[in-house]
Amino acid sequence: MKEVKLYDTTLRDGAQGEGISYSVMDKIRIAQELDSLGIHYIEGGWPGSNPKDMEFFLAMGRKRINNSALVAFSMTRRPGISAAQDHNLKALIKSQAPVIAIVGKTWDLHVREVIRCSLKENLSMIEDTVRFLVSKGLAVFYDAEHFFDAYKANPQYSLKCIRTAEKAGASAICLCDTNGGSLPSEVAHTVRKIRPHVKAMLGIHCHNDADVAVANTLIAVEAGADMVQGTINGYGERCGNADLVPIIANLKIKMGIDCISDEKLKELVKVSHFVSEVSNMKQRSDQPYTGVSAFAHKGGMHINAVMKNPRAYEHANPELVGNHRRILVSELGGRTGIMLRAKAMELDLGKDDPKTKKILKLIQALEHKGYHFEAAEASFELLMKKALKKYGRFFELEGFRVVIEKLSDKKITSEAIIKLSVKGAKEHTAAEGDGPVNALDNALRKALKDFYPTLSKMHLSDFKVRVLDEKAGTAARVRVLIQSQDEDETWNTIGVSENLIEASWQALVDSIEYKLLKDGAGK
Amino acid sequence: MKEVKLYDTTLRDGAQGEGISYSVMDKIRIAQELDSLGIHYIEGGWPGSNPKDMEFFLAMGRKRINNSALVAFSMTRRPGISAAQDHNLKALIKSQAPVIAIVGKTWDLHVREVIRCSLKENLSMIEDTVRFLVSKGLAVFYDAEHFFDAYKANPQYSLKCIRTAEKAGASAICLCDTNGGSLPSEVAHTVRKIRPHVKAMLGIHCHNDADVAVANTLIAVEAGADMVQGTINGYGERCGNADLVPIIANLKIKMGIDCISDEKLKELVKVSHFVSEVSNMKQRSDQPYTGVSAFAHKGGMHINAVMKNPRAYEHANPELVGNHRRILVSELGGRTGIMLRAKAMELDLGKDDPKTKKILKLIQALEHKGYHFEAAEASFELLMKKALKKYGRFFELEGFRVVIEKLSDKKITSEAIIKLSVKGAKEHTAAEGDGPVNALDNALRKALKDFYPTLSKMHLSDFKVRVLDEKAGTAARVRVLIQSQDEDETWNTIGVSENLIEASWQALVDSIEYKLLKDGAGK
């Protein structure tokens, strides 16, 4: 079986993505996760360019790494000085990384117009830099920047650049589509032309500016590349880098190419979500293989067919990457979807039951208002139980008031006062919080805690606000999603209103009622 | 120049995307936008499957369409009845659409396990359906569902299916990768094999489950397909459909293939944003060609090079698709970025000016707290002007109070009371609103409007809330982004705090001050 080495650059190229900024601790956590996944090379940063990256390498030197080799990145020496004089190259040695990636020019346009030296001096820069680092006992990978554009513009010179690097001792040559504009057939053509000239490992590094980075990477592997570079979730400057997540899945599942173990492949969903969380980026729900929608079925006909044979509308078994099938509740999913959900809740509901029809109508009306039960399955369960009369109220709200106050430029304060009746008693209490929703949450729990002690075991783990009609500005309708968890489970609830506090209140109440129902507190 | 026909299915396949639900009016607005862009075929829906789609077709019959042909979708007749008896086919005729897309089985697995009829009956279903519709004077396109899987499993039968459709009068055969799992080299191979057998137009319809839908589409065109199907922004079930936006740009700019005019190509950004707005989906900032980050430069070295020659780090001219270059303000962009922004604001600031260093430090500190000036250029301008002492306050807040009240299950109310001094006068007023932020916005404007009359010319056009540390639940830090506009301009401001109201207040004040500064109200 053909094997391909995986080279992750989330911590360097990924960090260039708009909206991403890693702390040293973030970088360490991601590196450990990549190591555990079995990524062969982890590019950790550019120690010469900023102190944070140097700190990362020095900290990693004290950690145990099991599967990966750490790579430090820099560029060829500056024109007109020796390699030993270049502070960037000194920083590489200081970083103690065992592998060094050196990016250098291969496109004559860049040599002339950007670094502004002679084509010959650029070749010397490549040769000196690689030779210097190899002489220090380091493995050196040469990143041929803009290679595909370079090869189109001046094939002789671009080839000369990579040959120079290999002759000077580089153990890998990586062809970079830096501007991300090459199309698959060009990539196939160029890699096939270059492969016979390179004895070292041949890498491919694609950017997604033409929306074909994953395809270009796979095609380069078919054409002879044996190392693929990319980032988790495709993070990176402009339109991002090639996304290693579907690349790994495609290599393993579709192309029969070895890169990580089958067991580790099952952690792909987890790793993808972990990196998006640490990167503080929203997880793309439509991400191939690992997105929450990747194996979600909404159309009624598709749902029926998948029940007969999953291959009917699934290109791969979701469990191979740690994902799972989802049947969505929506107007298009129709009665089959509702029936299947009811079955999962152990509620007795037939497809032709008039109650099924009634629930479907209710859902359609609520979705029309902006509710979105696909993302709030706990609220959906409550709605079903209410419709089937399997639910009794846990408390009655008499009223609440939230007061937010700011004096001059002092810190703002938020206070909630709540009055409710619970199990025949009247509760009237108040609490402060960081913001109105938090104050309301605190006051509600305070009022209920003596009656429902298990509430102390749950907490809110996520709070999302989505503006529905953004055109209306601050008067827009908002959808609030709250995620809650206890020791056993995580659940999601929803609220929709023109008023953020009203929407939050609905989601808060659903969250607490879901917890009480599942604990059997109503009985 | 080779020409390719564009076939958009945003209104049918796109509507299957998780989180998407179009009203009839949404569909009409999107169809008109697609017509104006010059899309050749607009698939509007499945009139037999739901009344909303039928309503759309009947409404479109009364609208003027200039460039596009409307397509109504359905499937082959059900087994065991005649085409004339099938209510889905009757609905197609009633829809008055001039072109009909009929999806039919070509994969023997589906015939046997999903519709459960004989392979022969499936061929009759294809033949009868196409013949019936052609006899009614309609153009019929045959969508060969799962064609790539079908051709792998049973090439003879799958080929027989499409030949049957063509013989019965279909004027286009569309090869569908319904499950989205085919890789580029398989698609190239299959299309090359099929092309000689089909005299009719040959379409390609890809899904993105392996993250290669755009590449598969382009490769199919190189292999002989002359119609491409996709959706705007790639909306669609699971991982979405092939995204027509980069497909159009790649065909025109990279492959020299005619599909829409150069002039219309410049509207690609506008159309992509319009559809994401009507679909109520967040615009992907990293969308190739049209995303707001697609031509954004963050790394200092890249910024320097692009200033020398845009080709250095841009694969295409952003203006061709109506996009533009952006220089991002961030710790990585460094002093050059700040200097360039200052230049754009006509502020005099050198790279080595100590003030530049001071501003850079301030930005780094604020970004560390969660501010994100890439997305809030108006707040960044205010910050620069404050740092350079080119700013005087327009008013002083003495205090505000927001009261939100809910009684039992009645409608919630929000009221804001504000006290401030402006131009030597004291203003003390109050206003209600839909939610606390809207009430505060209303009260602030009410207090200022007599002193700054141009404020009546601006309004808030967007309001976004992002939770920064989601783990902390309702006590999490939030980032508020407000977009405002007047007749001439749109601008974005930001606020960050643990308290949503405080964060909103910061962004509101910035928005109003930016407007007053640009109007010269302080002078």
Domain ranges of chain A: 5-278, 296-386, 395-446
CA distance A205 to A242: 7
Contacts for B163 with CB less than 8 Å, ≥ 6 apart: B197
Q: Which residue has the higher pLDDT, A346 or B306?
A: B306
Question: What would the 3-class secondary structure string for A148-169 be?
Answer: HHHHHHCHHHHHHHHHHHHHCC
DSSP assignment letter at B228: E
Cβ atoms B261, B38 nearer than 8 A:
yes
**Location of structure tokens 């027989």:** B160
C-beta atoms of B212 and A214 within 8 A: yes
Residue A489 has pLDDT above 90, yes or no: no
C-alpha closest to that of B240 among B269, B208, B282 = B208
Residue B463 has pLDDT above 50, yes or no: yes
Q: Give the per-residue pLDDT at A103.
A: 97
Residues of A in contact with B474 (CB under 8 A): 433-435, 437-438, 441, 460, 463, 482, 504, 508
What integer is the mean pLDDT of A64-70? 93
Q: Give the per-residue pLDDT at B334.
A: 62
Closest partner CB to A399 (pick from B214, B406, B436) = B406
Two tokens, residue A246: 């579907």
Q: Give the per-residue pLDDT at B386.
A: 87
- Burial track A198-234 (b if 16+ CB lie within 10 A, e otherwise): bebbbbbbbbbbbbbbbbbbbbbbbbbbbbbbbbbbb
Q: Give the per-residue pLDDT at B343.
A: 72
Neighbours of A291 (CB within 10 A): 25
Residue B475 has pLDDT above 80, yes or no: no
Residue B473 has pLDDT above 70, yes or no: no
Q: In angstroms, what separates the C-alpha of B499 from chain A's closest C-alpha?
A: 4
Q: Which residue has the higher pLDDT, A348 or A515?
A: A515
CA distance A348 to A363: 18
Angle between helices A24-37 and A268-278 (to 10 degrees): 170
Q: Give the per-residue pLDDT at A110.
A: 93
Q: How far is CA B82 from CA A416, B60, B67, B75, in A?
A: 67, 29, 35, 14
What integer is the mean pLDDT of A15-36? 88
Residue B128 has pLDDT above 80, yes or no: yes
Residues of A in contact with B502 (CB under 8 A): 406, 411-412, 435
Q: Taking the alpha carbons of B334, B336, B342, B344 in that order, is the dihedral positive or negative? A: negative
**DSSP state letters, A395-456:** -EEEEEEEEEEEETTSPPEEEEEEEEEETTEEEEEEEEESSHHHHHHHHHHHHHTTT-GGGG
Q: Taking the alpha carbons of B512, B517, B519, B520 in that order, is the dihedral positive or negative? A: positive
* DSSP strands (E only) in B412-477: 413-422, 425-433, 459-467
Residues of A in contact with B214 (CB under 8 A): 210-212, 215
Beta bridge partners of B403: A403, B415
Model-wide pTM > 0.90: no
Q: In angstroms, what separates the C-alpha of A84 from chain B's closest C-alpha?
A: 22
Phi and psi angles of residue B265, each rounded to the nearest 5 degrees, phi first: -55, -35
Neighbours of B91 (CB within 10 A): 19
Residue A471 has pLDDT above 50, yes or no: no
Which of A118-127, A242-251, A300-309, A509-518 has the least mean pLDDT?
A300-309
**Location of structure tokens 């640490």:** A278
Q: Give the per-residue pLDDT at B43.
A: 98
Residue of chain B with shortest Cα separation from A222: B185
Residues of B in contact with A244 (CB under 8 A): none
Closest partner CB to A459 (pick from B315, B400, B473) = B473
Q: Give the per-residue pLDDT at A472.
A: 53
Which of A52-66, A113-127, A369-383, B260-274 has the least mean pLDDT?
A369-383
User: Backbone dihedral region of A180: left (phi > 0), alpha (psi from -120 to 50 degrees) or beta?
Assistant: left
Pairing label, strands B396-407, B413-422? antiparallel
Q: Give the per-residue pLDDT at B333.
A: 53
Contacts for B204 with CB less than 8 Å, ≥ 6 apart: B174, B175, B187, B191, B216, B217, B220, B221, B225, B227, B228, B229
Two tokens, residue B498: 């643990």
- What's the mean pLDDT when you consider all of chain A? 90
Residues of B in contact with A228 (CB under 8 A): none
Residues of B in contact with A145 (CB under 8 A): none
First-last CA distance in chain B: 59
C-beta atoms of B470 and A461 within 8 A: yes
**Interface contacts (A, B; CB < 8 Å):** 383
Phi and psi angles of residue A192, each rounded to the nearest 5 degrees, phi first: -65, -35
Q: Give the per-residue pLDDT at A200.
A: 97
CA distance A288 to B181: 10
Closest partner CB to A212 (pick from B183, B214, B459) = B214
Residue A165 has pLDDT above 80, yes or no: yes
C-beta atoms of A255 and B183 within 8 A: yes
Closest partner CB to B474 (pick from A255, A367, A438) = A438
- Burial track B6-28 (b if 16+ CB lie within 10 A, e otherwise): bbbbbbbbbbbbbbbbbebebbb
Two tokens, residue A223: 């054409």
Q: In angstroms, what separates the C-alpha of B215 from chain A's closest C-alpha?
A: 5
Q: In angstroms, what separates the C-alpha of B487 from chain A's closest C-alpha?
A: 15
- Residue B172, helix vs strand vs coil: strand
Neighbours of A177 (CB within 10 A): 30
**Location of structure tokens 């699934």:** A314
CA distance A361 to A352: 14
Q: Give the per-residue pLDDT at A245.
A: 98
Neighbours of A346 (CB within 10 A): 6
C-alpha closest to that of A491 among A381, A403, A412, A385 = A381
Closest partner CB to A315 (pick from B209, B293, B331) = B209
CA distance B507 to B279: 26
Closest partner CB to A296 (pick from B238, B243, B436) = B238
CATH class, B395-446 region: alpha beta
Closest partner CB to B110 (pick from A218, A297, A312) = A312
Closest partner CB to B437 (pick from A299, A315, A474) = A474
CA distance B216 to B195: 15
C-beta atoms of A288 and B397 within 8 A: no
According to CATH, the topology of domain A5-278 is TIM Barrel (3.20.20)
CA distance A317 to B209: 12
Which of A291-300, A325-334, B67-76, B423-432 has the least mean pLDDT?
A325-334
Residue B471 has pLDDT above 60, yes or no: no
What integer is the mean pLDDT of B82-106? 96
Q: In angstroms, what separates the C-alpha of B53 from chain A's closest C-alpha?
A: 12
Residues of B in contact with A312 (CB under 8 A): 109-110, 113-114
Residue of chain B with shortest Cα separation from A375: B19
Q: How do residues B40-67 score in pLDDT, each as one tens digit?
A: 999 999 998 878 899 999 999 888 899 9
* DSSP strands (E only) in B353-438: 396-407, 413-422, 425-433
C-beta atoms of B402 and A400 within 8 A: no
Identify residue B326 by its one-letter amino acid code.
R
**Location of structure tokens 């075991």:** A457
Q: Which residue has the higher pLDDT, B489 or A452?
A: A452
Neighbours of B311 (CB within 10 A): 19
A475 band by pLDDT with thresholds 50, 70 and 90: low
Cβ atoms B375, B492 nearer than 8 A:
yes
Residue A498 has, within 13 A of its CA and on its CB side, a CA count of 16
ipTM over 0.90: no
Residues of B in contact with A180 (CB under 8 A): 288, 315
Closest partner CB to A499 (pick from B375, B414, B498) = B414
C-beta atoms of B312 and A113 within 8 A: yes
Q: Give the per-residue pLDDT at A333.
A: 53
Cβ atoms A337, A328 nearer than 8 A:
yes
Cβ atoms A185, A196 nearer than 8 A:
no
CA distance A61 to A55: 10
Cβ atoms B276, B292 nearer than 8 A:
no
DSSP assignment letter at B267: T
Beta bridge partners of B175: B144, B204
Q: Give the per-residue pLDDT at A169.
A: 98
C-beta atoms of A16 and B332 within 8 A: yes
Identify residue A333 by its one-letter amino acid code.
G
Q: How do residues B361-385 score in pLDDT, each as one tens digit?
A: 888 778 777 787 766 788 988 988 8
Element (H, E) at A44: strand A41-45
Residue A330 has pLDDT above 60, yes or no: no
Q: In angstroms, what separates the C-alpha of A114 from chain B's closest C-alpha?
A: 6
Residue A188 has pLDDT above 80, yes or no: yes
C-beta atoms of A250 and B178 within 8 A: no
Percent of chain A at pLDDT above 70? Answer: 94
C-beta atoms of B331 and A465 within 8 A: no
Percent of chain A at pLDDT above 90? Answer: 64
C-beta atoms of B288 and A246 within 8 A: no
C-beta atoms of A434 and B367 within 8 A: no
Residue B221 has pLDDT above 80, yes or no: yes
Pairing label, strands A425-433, A413-422? antiparallel
Q: In angstroms, what separates the C-alpha of A70 from chain B's closest C-alpha?
A: 22
Q: How do residues A452-467 score in pLDDT, each as one tens digit?
A: 999 988 888 777 777 7
Two tokens, residue A84: 């030993």
C-alpha closest to that of A29 among A232, A282, A290, A263 = A232
Q: Give the per-residue pLDDT at B332.
A: 47
C-alpha closest to that of B303 among B348, B347, B335 = B335
